[in-house]
Chain A
């Protein structure tokens, strides 16, 4: 009887499981397998052992590109979460115009990053809106083509990420804040606490779960970023904005080095797992 029930259960799971195995697990396993091959995508592959990994760790491009991805975490994850919390503290409890606010701030999430990138390339260019704004307030001296500036391109790129991710964080936090019992706020008020105290004592701890989710999503977006970089700077100027995702693409499609690309993808996945695990540890509720 128990066996039969188990079979029925498996039958229900099977369709979804097959899709998941076919489109998520299997490609992942296959990628690991490819990373041990020397393969150009056409000729028969030969076993390469750890050669691809050795090549990646001795490549002078890997270090800087990983560092760029880590810098991007500041702009894709840290600043958006901080901004999101700040906006939540401000907007919490208001009802008028809330939907409009949410739609406006969430909009960047709905747009494909490729479209976002192209739009920002215009905003950032010589005659773009950013420079027009600077000139209007008398800062004509600092104007430049931001994405082409050797020292500032990565930061300029990072702010596009901030723009795209802040809305997501805010919407997640606002939703979380709605479930906070208002009597907690009343209790703080009775104790004589103001809005700052209310935020740190009640809101922030209550949003622990949402903060964890938002940081994980945005950190992955930073470490695995590709599309935004590809359409805005393509790693330039002079490799100042290369990220690991871009190197994977170049290895696979420009250099026909499928094994190397797979190995780098595996390494990138491990880096993502390390960061995500660290975030989950940090945000875990203490028993």
Chain B
């Protein structure tokens, strides 16, 4: 008698587990692709996390297509990347979802988002979207290698990693123009430090620390080799001289007092606040922070891309996009694709720029001055050089933890550049093997 309830529980457990896990199958491609849109009134569901620019882009698209209504649902980033995979696997997923190549890679082999190659050909997306911005959104069927294979999303706004500087503080140190080589930048740092100003604010607790190493690696190293590594091209490695030199530079800068000793306990938002409040002369972050920084500093702030080792070398900088993908379960793939196509329009370009991002269509005429002007100018240069490279945390699922803790080891001078790179490569090999 006593064993019976337990047996019942176990039976129930087994019955429920038997039907718990199920999933999709092969990678999916849309059929009946067409530019012809429905005349009927329809509603598309859209899931996103970044706003700006999403809301403004959605309204502008709705204005152009009065019969298409977009029902948009925003979720904060950390929750979004955790819940979106489940929402996309549900029976009634959103038709369009903001795409993150790092966090959402398992949607590709599950066949839950469309391979958009057919639409790319139909609309001619190679024109109007910078090639590098589409590249990171391409993936092979297993999602083991990026930069090749089908296209799984389209960028709706672009961003780039660079250096913000406090004009008053650098001028006080006799620095009058943005540096054109890395050595010149180092000399500027020394001059700023000489005036008693801490050169950098750095959010070592979160992503700020490894973004410094990331920017240095991009400026010292071979761009294609770095790309291949992030994309997971077989045989790639990050254990290169340039990456090691970049890590050593971080260590040297800690030793020279260019980076505050408290960096490892500083969150990105705090580092940004310190910079805005004039506690440091430089801050390395993306232009996504531009509108907040400009609000705090007005005309006293400028922006440049971390210069290359030698003057005249083509510019390289890490960048990302707010990108959108289409659910393979949508009933309106053509209309969803029209929304994606809208991103390269002149109208969208204005919105993307006004909301603090860089426009997808680099040819779109933009009027800008001050900080925005700096960013737009630098961005145009790096897109022109086809020098936008992906962020390193897309390289493998746990790379972001390795990058963060590894940089913390460098910042606290407890680990060597070699150990740092070995740990990154170990994670890479585990995944791409």
Q: Are B266 and A148 in contact (CB under 8 A)?
A: yes
Contact with B265, one of A21, A44, A125 (Cβ below 8 angstroms): A125
Alpha-carbon gap, A256 to B81, bound state (A): 11
Interchain CB contact under 8 A, A41 and B106: yes
Q: Which B residues are in CB contact (< 8 Å) with A40?
A: 106
Q: Which of B82, B89, B406, B415 contacts A42 (CB 8 A)?
A: B89
Give the size of the chain B interface in residues (CB under 8 angstroms). Answer: 45
Contacts of B64 in A (CB 8 A): none
Q: 0/1 per residue, A40-82, Cβ < 8 Å to B? A: 1111110000000000000000000000000000000000000
Q: Which residue of A lies closest to B393 (CB)?
A: A254
Q: Is B409 a contact of A237 with CB atoms below 8 Å?
A: yes
Is the beta-carbon distance between B415 and A43 smaller than 8 angstroms?
no
Stretch at the interface among B18-26, B52-60, B229-237: B18-26
Is A229 part of the binding interface, using a Cβ–Cβ cutoff of 8 Å?
no
Chain B 172-201 interface mask (CB, 8 Å, partner A; 1/0): 000000000000000000000000000000
CB distance from B389 to the nearest CB of A (A): 22
Sorted from nearest, which 8 A-B pairs have the closest CB atoms? A148-B265, A145-B262, A148-B264, A238-B409, A145-B265, A237-B408, A237-B264, A150-B412
Interface of chain B: mostly helix, strand, loop or mixed: helix
Residues of chain B contacted by A253 (CB below 8 angstroms): 81-82
Residues of chain A lying within 8 A (CB to CB) of residue B398: 250, 254-255
Give the interface centre of B24, B265, B404 by most chain A CB atoms within 10 Å: B265
Using Cβ atoms and an 8 Å threshold, which residues of chain A touch B20? 30
Chain B residue numbers with a CB within 8 Å of A147 are: 264-265
Task: Identify the closest chain A residue to B407 (Cβ).
Answer: A238
B250 at the interface (CB under 8 A from A): no
In the complex, the number of residue pairs spanning A and B with C-beta atoms less than 8 Å apart equals 120
What is the bound-complex CA distance between A17 and B236, given in angstroms?
55
A30-B13, A42-B107, A44-B23 known; A236+B397 contact, CB < 8 A: no
Highest count of chain A CB atoms <10 Å: which of B17, B21, B261, B400: B21
What separation, in Å, do the CA atoms of A233 and B112 have in the docked complex? Answer: 35
A254 interface neighbour in B13, B110, B397, B408, Cβ under 8 Å: B397
Choose among A26, A250, A256 the residue that contacts B16 (Cβ–Cβ < 8 A).
A26
Q: Is the CB of A30 within 8 A of B265?
A: no
Residues A145 and B261 in contact in the complex (CB < 8 Å), given A21-B9, A44-B21: yes
- Contact present for A236 and B13 (CB under 8 Å): no
Pick from A25, A33, A146: contact of B17, CB below 8 A.
A33
Flag if B412 contacts A237 (CB, 8 Å): yes
A238-B412 CB under 8 A given contacts A146-B265, A233-B205, A254-B401: yes
- Mark contacts of A8-44 with chain B using CB atoms, 8 A cut-off: 1 yes-contact digit, 0 otherwise: 0000000000000100011001100100010111111
> Nearest Cβ in chain B — how far from A172, in angstroms?
33
Known: A26-B16, A41-B106, A237-B204. A125 touches B262 (CB 8 A): yes
A235 to B411, CA, bound (A): 15
Mask: chain A, 142-161; 1 = CB below 8 Å from B; 0 = not: 00111111100100000000
Shortest CB distance B427–A (Å): 10
Inter-subunit contact A41/B85 (CB<8 Å): yes
Contacts of A146 in B (CB 8 A): 265
In the complex the two chains form, what is the Cα distance from A121 to B21 in whole Å?
Answer: 40
Q: CA–CA, A250 to B85, complex, Å? A: 16
